[in-house]
Amino acid sequence: MANLFDFNTETDYVGKVVYVDTTKLSLDVKPKELKLARVGRLVAVKISSAVEEWAIAIVERVIKNPSTEQLKTIVQPNEDEDTSPVSADSILERVSNIVTIAIVATFKGKKGTEINYFSRSIQEIPDIDAEAFSIESENLEKFMGLLSAKSKSDVSLDLGKYSLSEKARAQLNGDKFFQRHAAILGSTGSGKSWTVASILEKAADLPTTKMIVFDLHGEYSTLKFAKQLRIAGPDDLETKDDNILFLPYWLLNSEEMQAMFIDRSEFSAHNQVMMFQKLVGDEKLKHLRDNKKDEVINSFTIDSPVPYNLDSVIAELRRLNEEMVPGARAGSEKKGDFNGSFSRLLTRLDVKVTDKRYGFLFKHPSELNAYTALTEIIEQLIEFKENNSGIKIIDFSEVPSDVLPIIIGLVARILYNIQFWTEKSERHPLALVCDEAHLYLPKKGENNPNEKRALENFEKIAKEGRKYGVSLLVISQRPSDVSETILSQCNNIMSLRLSNKQDQSTVKSFMSDNLTVFADILPTLDVGETIVLGDAVLLPSRIMLDMPKEENRPLSSTVDFWTEWNEKDKKTDYNKAVENYRKQSRK
């Protein structure tokens, strides 16, 4: 077949290699070729003449030497000297400029065959004096077309257009994008939310997609192709609706229950933990015996998701807290061993149970107490039905902030465990889309019991989920605040514009040394433009992403302050806003 590149030595030649490092090269570039060496552009360096073999590199740094003032001094000799004038052109021919390039891939084509080889691994380094050419115009279009052709398959995820060549479509390997987790990072207003919406929109076209979006602010409620679920709010406690999600308290494991109800700083915390767990365990066993579930009893633990009666647990705690036992003297009484130990625990339980904001935990419809309730909840979360894309949006906007990390972690843990215990032949891949991840997966969450519980659940998924078909898509505007353990497991990074230095450094820390040039580009990206790195892309690329269809754009657009201030006054129903504020619901 014809060569991929057809370079013209007059118009495409950049310079020769004068310095070789592991992944970086320095080129000796003459002034007239310097205009081709633009930072961020692609360069091909010849490796072998026997076959078409090139090192593909990106221009990282350009150093011009000497300066214009120095050149004037050279070409204009002193009047006292008896020398002939020196031609500026002859000087320019001898001047050297240094251009540093970073190798990012290798291409090898074989003549007379349709087989060519493209790899991100660097197997051979160009020699000293190897020639370098700028990949421009038709060569750039052919090269980008090759990337698209290589990526295009049944598993391709079409994202948009390459910024270097808009004629070529940018496509990722959909399998590799989700297999080992991914992250979408970008400052507010960079186009992060509609990037997510665009990916969801494309995934919705697949026959059996299974994706669950953790939506903290109701941004994705406009996505028509997705099934909208909402954690029950104060006004939904009597509602029987397939779109309202209840999460019964008995789904909480022991660590989550402790984080929610028990203050570890109290002197009697150990008594509270011990007795609370014992009573919960007794109630769960009672439920299993009443339902004749002997096979479950044999493997029962306190963390088993078995229904139990919380009212009975509270009643027994109250009895023990008030218990008086016979004293040493006949007819006298003294306080029992636990008298007064559970006062604060009972107060916290009472506050949580009676607060309608926590109704999704404690005020669920009575039929959810049945032994089959968990199966019903799982089907509501991940089962797709006819005319449903299999993408579920869970709106957490009415969940109280103090328990938000626990509840999101609870949902993630349940889904992971269901995947873990499903027969391998019946297991279907599931992706969890973690919007605003910095709010519940923070870097310093170990100091907060609620955040710690969520971190433990998600870190387990990040480390082991790929083996059981559970993937994470982590989304954040503050990557520097997100758990390093979770981000480090994301083998694909899509970074939109980042203006904060700490956030840029976080993204840079996940790049190999030959790719750090991309980190310097992050604050200059346009809205909806991204740098994509990782297993899913053949070459680290700068891509202009497709916008989702207008009817599927999230409710995250920036308010046009000056424009709206310039319009006529619009009426606001503050009475309604106050009532929504009081009842903690926009319904």
Q: What are φ and ψ of residue 83, in 5° steps?
A: -130, 155
Tell me how far apart the alpha carbons of residues 529 and 545 are, in angstroms, rounded to a whole number. 6
**Cis omega (within 30 of 0) for bond into 66:** yes
**419 token code pair:** 């995947």
Domain ranges of the chain: 13-135
pLDDT score recorded for residue 198: 92
With a CB cutoff of 8 Å and minimum separation 6, the contacts of 164 are 41, 42, 140, 144, 542
User: Coil, strand or helix: which one is 219?
Assistant: coil
Q: What's residue 185's pLDDT?
A: 95
Distance CA 115, CA 269 (A): 69
DSSP 29: E
Instruction: Please count the residues of the chain.
Output: 587
How far apart (Å, rounded) are the C-alpha atoms in residues 55 and 570?
A: 61
Residue 157 DSSP code? E
The angle that helices 254-261 and 343-354 make with each other, rounded to 10 degrees, is 100
What is the bridge-based pairing of β-strands 333-335 and 324-326?
antiparallel
Cβ of 336: how many Cβ atoms within 10 Å?
A: 15
Backbone angles phi, psi at 304, to 5 degrees: -60, 130
| Residue 297: burial class (beta carbons within 10 Å; 0-12, 13-18, 19+) | middle
The whole-number mean pLDDT for each consecutive block of 10 residues of the chain, a chain of 587 residues, reads 78 91 88 85 85 87 68 52 53 70 83 61 86 89 78 78 82 89 93 91 90 93 90 80 89 90 73 90 90 84 90 94 86 87 91 90 67 85 72 93 94 94 91 95 82 92 93 95 93 93 90 79 91 87 87 74 79 81 68
Give me the amino acid identity at 10: E
What pTM did the predictor assign? 0.84
Q: Pick the closest to residue 125 from 518, 541, 511, 514 (CA basis).
A: 514
What is the model's pLDDT at position 496? 94
User: Which tokens is 177 given?
Assistant: 């994008």
